[in-house]
Structure 1
Amino acid sequence: MLVRYKKVLEKIAMGLISLMPQEKDLKRLMETIQQYEQEDNWVLYLWKKDEEYVGIVGVLADDANATIQHITVIPSYRGEGVAIEMLQELRELGYKVIKPNEETEPFIQKCIPILKEAD
């Protein structure tokens, strides 16, 4: 289940985002979190499975369009379809067009065939 980011989840969100190769630098990671906190069209969701946060997806929202800025799953849950579930739930939230940015494109391209099968 997607849970919208709140300040109380900051440390969990930072830990999840830091799993992305481009977010290893602490300064960049802090700037990323601030962007999600300060920009109305930057929306961050954490994926909660049972009582554990296991993934994160961040979007740049433009009406019904979502550009995926960040997406990752903790290593022990990779290969279980968590990212696909996150993207499907984004659609259920009303994002009609979901597209990657340059950094997330290789990962999202792997998910698209599976998403199309689910339609």
Structure 2
Amino acid sequence: METVDLINALRRMAPETGGLPCLRCGHEHGCSVHGCAVIKEAADRLEKRYRGARGHCKPVIAVAPDGSWTRYVSIKEAARIVGVNPAQISTACVTGQRCAGQYWKKEEG
């Protein structure tokens, strides 16, 4: 598993409040409606280190027609995972058109 795959997996797991039992780590008083703070913090720290090693990557969000979304560390990694050219995702971010069946936007901040 590559670092970016691990980051994306942690991001998908973090908001789970019903599917994952609280591990009672003591960081919070039970997992909140926002999901596991420990998993979110691990993803944030791992992504920060990954970005530092690779320069300034800009996270991108893919929004499916049903409203669900997936956050990717960079346009390049998103393109690799969904099997398209990075320029196609970059263009979709600007034009608002679909690419690979999803709408794309660059993460703010």
TM exceeds 0.5?
Answer: no
Larger radius of gyration: 2
